[in-house]
Amino acid sequence: MEKLAIHGGAPVKSTPFPTWPIYDEAEENALMEVLKSRQWWRTPGTRTLQFEQNFAKYHQAKHGIAVTNGTAALEVVMAALGIGLGDEVIIPDFTFVATASAVLFTGAMPALVDVLPDTYCIDPDKVEAAINERTKAIIAVHVAGHPADMDRLREIAKEHNLYLVEDSSHAHGAEWKGQKVGALGDVGTFSFQQSKLMTAGEGGMIVTNNDEVEKFVRSVHDCGRMPGEWFYAHFIYGSNYRLSEWQGAVLDQQLLRLKDQTAVRTKNAAYLNEKLSQIEGITPQKLDSRVTCHPQYCYIFHYDSGAFAGASTESFIKAINAEGIPNQASYPPVHALDVFTSGEYKKRLLPDHVEEAEAYIHAEYPNSDRGYLETVWLPQPVLLGTQEDMDKIVEAVKKIQRNAASLKDN
């Protein structure tokens, strides 16, 4: 009789998926060049500068400013846009903590709104409803690489005179109606952390088409300096968020791999969409028809326990891991994070903002909760596998479904 791997049966997949990060002599040579150049920091260096230009060009943006990580990128943007005490920035409740913490960092309140039930990206109607006199900006997150509804968000931002920031940490090379994300709004941020679509272990980027925004972002990321001025002249608030030459050199090579890797991931994702959507209880993340490239930082699907004999998402995830299919945890909703539920976040706000801010923490976010509790995320290296690897994923889901009753007491 068939037995699930979690109960001692043979796993569906016994060979590994591609390992990440991917590198070869190109990265090795780039690192050795930096070593020998003895220019290891950004300031007089050329590699990070070169990478900034190449990355911005790839994303159809005028400017690129490299920073230490994706969280720092958001913090620099918030400071550069002048967001501060008493302000509000509208963000999705379903995102990594950095989208919220970068707002708190400035003394502003992240105004949480729910996401759409099918793409898990910020709901534009909810954004519109959250706008008040304190609102200064909207941060859209392109969840798993799927661009948020940039048409609606741009309209809303324009009508209410708000900055539109794209947290594109998942979305290197993603496209909305043929345009790369990042500079579709006023300014966009990227992460190059280990798991991301290109990486130097850590790293971040800010892109924009706006010269004024670029000037302030660049200054904030470099201790408040201004171009052409004395090294020890500091004109505005800033800090040191500069990316090292090592990381710039590695990332410039990683960028060269992005297009081909994206093509493999999108092809495999389309295949999985077709096969998995035929399984009762499995609903892949919806692909909005205006999205012309979804680079698949993760492959997300909704899991309906009703079609799996009531086995919880947690049990399903344990079972699929045992079958040899890795997964990545979904994000807990921002409103449920300890920093908010404990009230700790209030220390960042003006006293007269606290009562209003509390409402966001206690509001209902059903789609965000559902995204946390009922979705399964396959990490991007899985999508770099072969079609046979994708078949194994489908086979594992079907096997679990056939034997789901045995999971109930697991």
Ligand X SMILES: Cc1ncc(COP(=O)(O)O)c(C=O)c1O
Interface ranges with ligand X (CB under 6 A): 69-71, 95-96, 98-99, 141, 167, 169-170, 191, 193, 204
Contacts of 89 (CB under 8 A, 6+ apart): 78, 83, 103, 108, 109, 110, 111, 135, 136, 137, 138, 139
Q: Point out which residues pair with 141 in neighbouring strands.
A: 167
In the complex, minimum distance from the CB of residue 243 to ligand X, in angstroms, rounded to a whole number: 11
Decide if 152 is catalytic: no
Please, which residue, 4 or 183, has the CB nearer to ligand X? 183
For residues 153 and 282, which CB has a smaller minimum distance to ligand X in the complex?
A: 153
Choose between 191 and 262: whose C-beta lies nearer to ligand X: 191
Closest distance to ligand X from the beta carbon of 124 (Å): 18
Does the annotation mark 126 as catalytic?
no
User: Is the CB of 190 or the CB of 308 nearer to ligand X?
Assistant: 190
Options 126, 225, 265, 348, the catalytic residue: 225
Question: Closest by alpha carbon to 104, among 342, 348, 360?
Answer: 348
In contact, 180 and 208? CB cutoff 8 Å: no
Pick between residue 126 and residue 170 the one whose CB is nearest to ligand X: 170
Helices 25-37/245-276 angle, 10° precision: 160
Nearest distance from C-beta of residue 118 to ligand X, angstroms:
19
Cα separation, 3 vs 11, in Å, equals 9
Select which of 13, 142, 170, 335 is catalytic. 170
Catalytic pick among 60, 193, 328, 401:
193
Q: What does the DSSP assignment read for 284-335? A: EPP--TTEEE---SEEEEEE-GGGGTT--HHHHHHHHHHTT---BPPPPPGG
Q: How many CB atoms lie within 10 A of CB 41?
A: 12
Give whichever of 199 and 266 is closer to ligand X, judged by the CB atom: 199
Give the span between the Cα atoms of 43 and 245, in whole angstroms.
Answer: 9
Concerning whether 170 is annotated as a catalytic residue, the answer is yes
Which residue among 17, 58, 96, 301 is the active-site one?
Answer: 96
Separation of CA 402 from chain center: 34
| Least Å from the CB of residue 170 to ligand X | 6
Enumerate the H helices of 342-386 as residue ranges.
354-362, 366-374
The dihedral built from the CA positions of residue 104, 152, 145 and 313, taken in this order, carries a sign that is positive
* Both structure tokens of 309: 């004999």
Active site residue 232: yes
Q: How far is the CB of 151 from ligand X (least distance, A)?
A: 21
Nearest to ligand X by Cβ — which residue? 70
Choose, from 93, 167, 288, 389, the residue flagged as catalytic: 167
Q: Which of 34, 40, 41, 27 is nearest to 242 (CA)?
A: 41
Give the residue with the Cβ less far from ligand X, 191 or 375: 191
**Residue indicated by tokens 């908010």:** 340
Give the shortest CB-108-to-ligand X separation in angstroms: 17
CA distances from 47 to 24, 26, 110, 224, 231 (A): 18, 14, 35, 22, 20
Residue closer to ligand X (CB basis): 197 or 276 = 197
* Bond before 21 cis per omega within 30 degrees: yes
Residue pointed to by tokens 């012309």: 292
Nearest to 197 by CA among 264, 281, 267, 99: 264
d(CA 66, CA 83): 21
Phi, psi dihedral angles at 134 (to 5 degrees): -85, -15
Given the residues 13, 142, 196, 294, select the one marked as catalytic.
196
Write down the least CB distance from residue 12 to ligand X, Å. 29
Does residue 225 carry a catalytic annotation? yes
User: Does the annotation count 38 as an active-site position?
Assistant: no
Q: How far is the CB of 194 from ligand X (least distance, A)?
A: 9
Which residues are identified as catalytic?
96, 167, 170, 193, 196, 225, 232, 242
